[in-house]
Amino acid sequence: MSMGYVVTLIRSGVLHVLLVSAPLLIIALVVGLVISIFQATTSIQEQTLTFVPKIAAILGALIFFGPWMIQMLTRFTVSLMNQIPMMVR
């Protein structure tokens, strides 16, 4: 197994991790920003106010994007398993 092959595998793994985690992170960022703007405009400085909407939004996004995320990770895993015979050489 050459160094270039290892770098390609690692690069592909990192890319898949970024793609799978991006929807949840973006939704958490947007919800946090909206809640922060709401807190700034209403002068409500409750620290726990941000947790419940973020958790609800992430749970909803996980339900919505979950099948796609599982499909991406399954395809990547199957691809890695199919490449094992080439790795041994």
Please give, one letter per residue, the 3-state secondary structure of 8-43: HHHHHHHHHHHHHHHHHHHHHHHHHHHHHHHHHHHC
Query: What's this model's pTM, rounded to 2 decimal places?
Result: 0.79
pLDDT for res 25: 95
Q: Does residue 87 carry a pLDDT above 80?
A: no
pLDDT for res 10: 92
Q: What average pLDDT does the segment 57-77 reach?
A: 95
Sort residue 2 into left (φ over 0), alpha (ψ -120 to 50) or beta.
beta
pLDDT for res 27: 96
Specify whether the CB–CB gap between 57 and 27 falls below 8 A.
yes
> Mean pLDDT across the chain, nearest whole number?
90
Cα separation, 38 vs 49, whole angstroms: 10
